[in-house]
Amino acid sequence: MDIIVCVKRVPDTSEADVKIDGSGKNIDLEDLTFDINEWDNYAIEEAILIKEKVGGTVTAITMGPEESNEVLRRCMAKGADAAIRLTDDAFEGSDGYAIARILHSAIKDLSFDAVFLGAQAGDDGYGVVGPMLAEMLGLPHATLITKVDLEDGKVKVHRELEGGLEEVVDINLPAVLGIQTGINEPRYVSIMGIRKVAKKEIPVKGLADIGLSADDVGEAGSKTKIECMYIPEVGEVAEMIEGSPDEAAAKLAQILKEKGLMG
């Protein structure tokens, strides 16, 4: 089974003092560390587990600068067979739609049985690239997947729903699958493993290589754009409503009326 896995290099902001950069449209990345997107880490692991079980190939693909090679090499150290990096100055400012379009143009002529992505990215959290890519490829899609079982010409996937519910869906291959965290336990990448793939060639493709124009990508090819970013101001703390259910309901209704939220 041949699987393409889309991965992303993202900044780690979990314990960082996040600041807005001079443009007002992004965070200051200067002092942040970067790593593979958490959801994508589970996606590449799931693809490698399937390859180890049934055979085939795994190809990691990313969009980003030369520093993104680090993420691709980690994928190869885990067990991916090949990697592709997409980079071009024209890609700057691409939203989820434009990113999906770039990935589509790079993937559409490749041979594959499935495309895996993380269900979302840790930097923007949009979760839109997978469904958009599937639509552009004309393939069935599912996201928030917590289990993948291979069957004859299709996959049975388990999807995480709200409220602790789970959905089981049969999907014909080829398909695009958005992987949720917790589906597996990503393997540790050793320094020796990274050294073994350090000299592996990573093809780099730009705008002309994938058959797109500058109007198709970046802000020009995007459906949305960021006007500005800001750090939310700390507001009033939450008010805890005490009393019996009837008393709490009456007080809540009164507050909503005072704020003009109820007639």
C-alpha distance from residue 181 to each of 41, 44, 57, 160 (Å): 8, 11, 22, 10
Residue 125 neighbours by CB under 8 Å, 6+ apart: none
Strands 9-11 and 34-36: antiparallel
Task: Give yes or no for a contact between 3 and 47, defined as CB atoms under 8 angstroms apart.
Answer: yes
Residue 158 neighbours by CB under 8 Å, 6+ apart: 145, 146, 147, 148, 166, 167, 168
User: What's the pTM value of the predicted model, to 2 decimals?
Assistant: 0.86
Domain boundaries, the chain: 2-216
Paired tokens of 71: 């993420």
DSSP labels, 187-238: PPPPHHHHHHTTT----EE-TGGGT--GGGSTTTT-S-------PPPP-PPP
Residue 76's pLDDT is 97
Per-residue pLDDT of the chain (263 residues; tens, 9 = 90+): 999 999 999 998 888 888 899 888 888 888 888 999 999 999 999 999 999 999 999 999 999 999 999 999 999 999 999 999 999 999 999 999 999 999 999 999 999 999 999 999 988 888 999 999 999 999 999 999 999 999 888 999 999 999 889 999 999 999 999 999 999 999 999 889 889 999 899 999 999 999 999 999 999 999 998 889 888 887 777 888 999 999 999 999 999 888 888 76
Q: HEC profile for 110-155?
A: CCCCEEEEECCCCCCCCCCHHHHHHHHHCCCEEEEEEEEEEECCEE
DSSP state of 27: B
Residues facing 60 on adjacent strands: 5, 83
Report d(CA 146, CA 45) in Å as an integer: 13
Residue 178's pLDDT is 98
What's phi and psi for 180, nearest 5 deg? -95, 155
Report d(CA 193, CA 187) in Å as an integer: 12
In this structure, which amino acid lies at residue 211?
G
Paired tokens of 197: 């793939």
> Which CATH code of 3.40.630.10, 3.30.70.980, 3.40.50.300, 3.40.50.620 fits the domain covering 2-216?
3.40.50.620
